[in-house]
Amino acid sequence: MNSEPQSANGDGPPLMELRDLQMFFPVKGGVLQRTQAQLKAVNGVSLSIRKGETLGLVGESGCGKSTLGKCAVRLLRPTGGQVLFEGNDISSLSRKALKPYRRDIQMIFQDPAESLNPRHSIGSLLEEPFLVHGNRDAADRNRRVLKLLDIVGLPASAIEKFPFEFSGGQRQRIGIARAIALNPKLVICDEPVSALDVSVQSQILNLLMNLQEEFNLSYIFIAHDLAVVKHISDRVAIMYLGKIVELGPTEEIFRNPLHAYTRALISAIPVPRPGQRRERILLKGDVPSPIDPPEGCAFARRSWIPCEPEELDKPGEFREVSPGHWVELHPATVEDYASYQR
């Protein structure tokens, strides 16, 4: 496709770089369980994350954003492309070879009720990262756990308690504490607030932002809630059917969305002022199945932008239209397509 959209004001090499990442799942069927088709969850994604930045990853459910996150932390082994972390390709490392990288790349899960083992106390949950990475000093572990609790704003007495004794927001704080325990450089946040009360969401978001400042963390922030992404992200990537369709600085994306899909998404954000209305863009039809997705531009047939029928199956072209702002160009995805043609 293209080599990484390096941002214009990029300083130094990126912390993590995804190159043409592909994650295909075989769809098996029939008596002999033969592979009948490929489910292309992530279909050629190139991205980079710089140190200390937050990259928002937005898309509707099923578009492959969680799969992308799992490939980035190497919970899944991508079927194609590369995952470069600080210049090293970790996309096909074995479990053992990955262990040192586990310190650097961590993940915050969507539902803290499920990501914390209900049978373990908070103390044992939080000391696990240290134990796994060879800290044999119980007193030292205990000290670190207490410090973690302090950092995420929980009382020291939590150490003896069990996950079910906490509220959703507190549990997510524990999940965050576990993720940052080993001083990671990159944290993938997989919808970390979508299971929480709206009132608690902002507390958790603020905690994440404070931690980022304090520990110079980088985030890949996966969400479907644009308002949340707008609040926390430096850059935003819009994902549709396994591909990035638009990528750019948050402000630019929200002020000047170019891709038809991005514009449809933004038009769906509720407006907080009564009386004021945004014009809602409604898309035609459903998302095509990621099993054998259409050749060419996957979005063309759903777009409201008129397009010559013979151009529908033409592939789009991912190009930088202004510094740092990349978009998939296709007659049906951007208005005034001709002006982008060189």
Residues that bind other proteins (CB under 8 A): 73, 75, 98-99, 102-103, 106-107, 109-111, 114-121, 128-129, 132-133, 160-162, 164-165, 178, 182
Cβ closest to other proteins, residue 95 vs residue 273 = 95
The CB-of-80 to other proteins minimum distance in angstroms stands at 20
Q: How far is the CB of 117 from other proteins (least distance, A)?
A: 4
Q: Tokens 């997510």 belong to which residue?
A: 172
Least distance to other proteins from the beta carbon of 276, Å? 39
- 120 or 224: whose CB is closer to other proteins? 120
Could you tell me whether strands 16-29 and 317-322 are parallel, antiparallel, or unpaired per DSSP bridges? unpaired
User: Whole-number minimum distance, CB 77 to other proteins, in Å?
Assistant: 13
Distance CA(82)–CA(12), nearest Å, equals: 19
Nearer to other proteins by Cβ, of 75 and 156: the residue is 75
Q: Least separation, in Å, of the C-beta of 262 and other proteins? A: 30
Q: What are phi and psi of 134, to 5 degrees?
A: 85, 20
Residue 186 vs 307, nearer CB to other proteins: 186
In angstroms, what is the minimal distance from the CB of 256 to other proteins? 37
Shortest Cβ 13–other proteins spacing (Å): 25
Provide, rounded to whole angstroms, the least separation between the CB of residue 115 and other proteins. Answer: 4
CA neighbor of 79 nearest in space, from 49, 15, 35, 30: 35
Kindly report the CA angle at 43 between 266 and 321, in degrees rounded to 5?
Answer: 50
Q: Which is nearer to other proteins, 171 or 243 (CB)?
A: 171
By beta-carbon proximity to other proteins, the closer residue of 104 and 311 is: 104
For 46, which DSSP code? E
Half-sphere exposure of 324 (CA within 13 A, CB side): 16
86: left (phi over 0), alpha (psi -120 to 50) or beta: left
Closer to other proteins by CB, 166 or 240: give it: 166
Got the DSSP string for 278-334? PPPP---S-PPPSBSPPSS-SSGGG-SS---GGGTTSPPEEEEEETTEEEEE-TTTS
Q: Is 159 or 223 the residue whose CB approaches other proteins more closely?
A: 159
Give CA 98 to chain center in angstroms: 20
Q: Are 71 and 23 in contact (CB under 8 A)?
A: yes
Q: How many residues appear in the chain? A: 342
